[in-house]
A and B are shown apart, each in its own frame.
Chain A
């Protein structure tokens, strides 16, 4: 069954099109990473799943319910870690979790939940005195109330130190093992790479990639970048390299040369240079990584790789 379904969803704030004709679906039990730079429309999309914000166009279904008309039913079965939230300064951490338990009408043990997110012993303190990381843990504890079928986590590692982020990933894994669907957003690929079944990359409100991590990796691993230092340059040599099939771009910069090419033609690039009268004094192969792909998708580099969006 489908846990989340977005059908041609757009959201306009005044003259700004925050989300542009977005369609995607997340299966039940899937771990879905929602990636993109800040301002790409990730939070707006998540806000629409929860009916914080209403789509200008399109339709959203979450856990079989209309996200707008039946939002309470959606949120009853969903655990949410929102972005840009704050805690109630005057209430204790424990009171927060109790409130979530009361709201979801479950019989969870607040102390157990607090301990699970690493806040044991902090429950009687007023949340106003919590650090950003502790507030994040507290909201996470509230999200876990009632063993939700779906976890929606918006930038979950915000404010957490690396250790805290790791602990949170550990809990997310436990929730996945329990069978929960997880939808989480991040602007850092490293956080999702290890756990996600699939990722979507959003840029300027549009879906630019939708694939498994493996699929994305396959797409990038065919490309490599050669960094070459020439002791003797030659325009002919550079033109010859540019003309080679399998070479996608050549940047010349004094005695330096950067060649993007298929993995298999690296040697031919070097021999062609020597044959055409240039001398190579040094060269280095840069491994194409998922990070560089992500960076290419989400920054304004001119040679962004062409990857198909497959919704």
Chain B
């Protein structure tokens, strides 16, 4: 087992990527500069609010929902850029021959790449959220550190999930170009096409399949949360919604309902469940979210294992 050696080597290689720091600089910039003004606005709003209910909504948790608008589309892009060529790129250039001349198994290579590049993506994310928190501290807004820490961890996890997806595709691809097409395809699928896919599926099933509305609603929710970007949104919603924001409802319950695309299904969910069932709890969603880290690298490894270089 030499995956630690591969991971260390890969980390020091990928951390020197100009692309990583170029994109990260932009990400950090968005996470700090405009956020200061938004935080200032929310903070001043909270101080000047005469309605105590309105004041209760205007917290740094609300700011996390603003940050989510940036991180959900942006973090996967950084992850893909630093990881899509992890293995396929080495195949193209010939460094893979140098790597596999040493006593590494192909499993070591996939695991080492996952760990190395996963470590790399965590750095700019933690840096960005720490700087963002610092900006909040400097503004008129009071920082709720607990939510920020949870948000930072979930965002780092989103980065690692997309690194894992990219590494898996990279292991299975014959060339760097194939890996790029594959990872960009997955990105577009999860961030742009997923909702159309779900609504199309819903129409098809309600038209032709003899299943009840409740089953369809469950299917929609399960498939929505199977999308790692959607799962991330729902988890961040769960930690950052305050009861003031949800009007007294359980924040996790509301966050799950938000994952449903249609108003009909949202209503049906509310009618069906008084409280959130365990299989839609944060723990369950987190489990599915995290399983992406194993899934594609495993598939990629199985293809890579049987391929000639």
Contact = CB atoms under 8 A, between A and B. Distances in A.
B104 to A, nearest CB: 6
Contact of A85 (B2, B9, B13, B97): B97
28 contacts: A50-B101, A53-B308, A71-B105, A72-B103, A73-B103, A75-B100, A82-B94, A82-B97, A85-B95, A85-B98, A86-B94, A86-B98, A87-B98, A88-B9, A91-B9, A91-B12, A91-B16, A95-B9, A99-B5, A99-B9, A103-B5, A103-B104, A104-B102, A105-B2, A142-B98, A142-B101, A142-B102, A143-B101
B17 interface: yes
A80 interface: yes
Nearest to B306: A54
A248 B6 CA distance: 60
Interface residues of A, number: 34
Interface string A32-52: 000000000000000100111
Interface in B72-98: 93-95, 97-98
B101 A102 contact: no
Interface in B284-309: 308-309
Interface of A: 13, 47, 50-54, 71-73, 75-76, 80-88, 90-91, 95-96, 99-100, 102-105, 139, 142-143
B101 A75 contact: yes
Given A52-B100, A100-B102, A104-B102, 14 more contacts: A13-B308, A52-B308, A53-B308, A72-B103, A72-B104, A75-B101, A84-B97, A85-B95, A86-B95, A86-B98, A87-B95, A88-B95, A95-B9, A95-B12
Interface of B: 2, 5-6, 8-9, 12-13, 16-17, 93-95, 97-98, 100-105, 308-309
Nearest to B101: A80
B102 A103 contact: yes
B17 A53 contact: no
A4 B100 CA distance: 19
A296 B61 CA distance: 81
Contacts of A47: 308-309
A90 B85 CA distance: 14
Nearest to A79: B101
Contacts of B2: 102-103, 105
Nearest to B18: A90
